[in-house]
């Protein structure tokens, strides 16, 4: 059985002048047009393809990579509008429709919106900006410390509301934000707490010793990029540390202390310097 709106690995069963036919199991043979056929492909090969419906509502395959798959959220731009709805650029030849009834508010051409990809009543792939209806609010199986994908969605009085793993609502409290968070941006985060109501508190960096290790690696990378010296130290302002590394001053001080103990950096009056191992 194949999954529409997802990537599938299908076997080539027939070659024709205009492409390849793939074994779609109960969906029959599915065409992969010539312009998407990888060089050297032949009957018997297995290809990873994305399946969707063409303009005639027939299932078709492509090796293009869409910006979202069925059951996920994405931040997409409106490129056209008509009486049926808004059409989004999702990286494929055929644009993605947001029917008017699926628009949280009337969409405007040229603007971008967060949407959820779903099937309509006839099984076709469409998008909805009423994504709250598709987020599971109770059956979260995530645990504190789990790494997750975050999509920045809205701002509340407490912080930034985020969509976690395309499935749950989460919140990054303002006190835990040390970098710019833009609507529609997808970033990595970590579960801080699972609330009784099923919602999640999220942070943007690891906690405890794992956080120090993660931040220490980024500090070393920044030192290498800057020629071995970084004009940050324990007396630097919290704003400057936040601007350069997107972290709190407390976390920065703990991380550089750990690097110093490992003899990986030295302290200078106006910053920190990478230890040259060749001199040791």
Quickly name the fold that domain 73-132 has.
OB fold (Dihydrolipoamide Acetyltransferase, E2P) (2.40.50)
Looking up tokens 């209806």 gives: 133
The mean per-residue pLDDT over the stretch 171-199 comes to 86
Looking up tokens 């429709």 gives: 97
> Which pLDDT band holds residue 212 (cuts at 50, 70, 90)?
low
Residue-level pLDDT at 280: 42
Identify whether the C-beta of residue 120 lies closer than 8 Å to the C-beta of residue 110: no
The mean per-residue pLDDT over the stretch 150-173 comes to 94
Looking up tokens 């492409």 gives: 19
Per-residue pLDDT tens digits for 24-51: 999 999 999 999 999 999 999 999 999 9
Q: What is the pTM of this model?
A: 0.75
Residue-level pLDDT at 136: 86
Residue-level pLDDT at 220: 83
At the second CATH level, the architecture of 7-62 is: Beta Barrel (2.40)
Residue-level pLDDT at 145: 87
- Distance CA(134)–CA(126), nearest Å, equals 13
- Distance CA(261)–CA(114), nearest Å, equals 45
- Distance CA(247)–CA(270), nearest Å, equals 19
pLDDT over 90, % of the chain = 58
DSSP the chain: ---TTSEEEEEEEEEETTEEEEE-GGG-EEEEEGGGPPTT--TT-EEEEEEEE-TTS-EEEE-S--S--TT-EEEEEEEEE-SSEEEEE-SSSSPEEEEGGG-SS---TT-EEEEEEEE-TTS-EEEES-GGGGS-SS-----TT-EEEEEEEEE-SSEEEEEETTTEEEEEEGGG--S---TT-EEEEEEEEE-TTS-EEEESS--HHHHHHHHHHHHHHHHHHTTTEES--TTS-HHHHHHHHSS-HHHHHHHHHHHHHTTSEEEETTEEEE--GGG-
Strand 186-194 to 168-173 pairing: unpaired
Q: Which of 103-112, 185-194, 220-229 has the lowest mean pLDDT?
A: 220-229
- pLDDT score of 61 more than 90: yes
Q: Of 42, 87, 96, give the one whose Cα is nearest residue 64.
A: 96
Per-residue pLDDT tens digits for 128-141: 999 999 998 777 88
Looking up tokens 């701002």 gives: 155
Residue-level pLDDT at 279: 46
Per-residue pLDDT tens digits for 227-260: 889 998 888 888 888 888 877 888 888 888 888 8
Looking up tokens 């997409």 gives: 76
Do domains 7-62 and 147-203 share one topology? The answer is yes
Identify whether the C-beta of residue 264 lies closer than 8 Å to the C-beta of residue 272: no
* CATH of the domain spanning 208-279, picked from 1.10.3720.10, 1.10.10.10, 3.40.50.150, 3.90.550.10: 1.10.10.10
Q: Dmax of the chain from CA atoms? A: 72
Residue ranges covered by each domain of the chain: 7-62, 73-132, 147-203, 208-279
Q: How far is CA 96 from CA 72, 128, 201, in A?
A: 14, 10, 32
Residue-level pLDDT at 255: 84
Looking up tokens 């976390």 gives: 251
Superfamily of domain 147-203: Nucleic acid-binding proteins (2.40.50.140)
Identify whether the C-beta of residue 37 lies closer than 8 Å to the C-beta of residue 43: no
């Amino acid at each position: 059985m194949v999954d529409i709106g997802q990537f599938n690995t299908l076997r080539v069963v027939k070659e024709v002048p205009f492409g390849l036919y793939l074994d779609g199991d109960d969906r029959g043979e599915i065409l992969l047009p010539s312009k998407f056929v990888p060089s050297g492909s032949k009957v018997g090969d297995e290809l990873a393809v994305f399946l969707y419906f063409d303009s005639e509502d027939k299932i078709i395959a492509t090796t293009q990579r869409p910006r979202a798959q069925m059951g996920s959220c994405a931040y997409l731009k409106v490129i056209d509008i008509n009486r049926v709805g808004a059409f989004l650029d999702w990286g494929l030849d055929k644009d993605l429709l947001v029917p008017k009834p699926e628009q949280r508010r009337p969409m405007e051409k040229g603007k971008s919106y967060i949407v959820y990809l779903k099937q309509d009543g006839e099984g076709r792939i469409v998008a909805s900006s009423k994504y709250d209806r598709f987020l599971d609010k109770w059956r979260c199986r995530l645990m504190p410390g789990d790494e997750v994908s975050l999509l920045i969605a809205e701002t509340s009085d407490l912080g930034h509301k985020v969509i976690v793993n395309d499935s749950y609502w989460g919140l990054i409290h303002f006190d835990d934000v040390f970098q710019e968070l833009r609507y529609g941006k997808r970033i990595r985060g970590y579960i801080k707490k699972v609330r009784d109501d099923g919602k999640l508190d999220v942070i943007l960096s690891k906690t405890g010793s794992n956080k120090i290790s993660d931040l220490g690696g980024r500090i070393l990378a920044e030192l290498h990029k800057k020629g071995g010296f970084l004009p940050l130290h324990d007396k630097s302002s919290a704003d400057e540390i936040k601007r350069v590394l997107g972290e709190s001053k407390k976390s920065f001080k703990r991380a550089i202390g750990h690097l110093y103990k490992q003899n990986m950096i030295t302290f200078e009056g106006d910053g920190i310097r990478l230890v040259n191992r060749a001199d040791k």
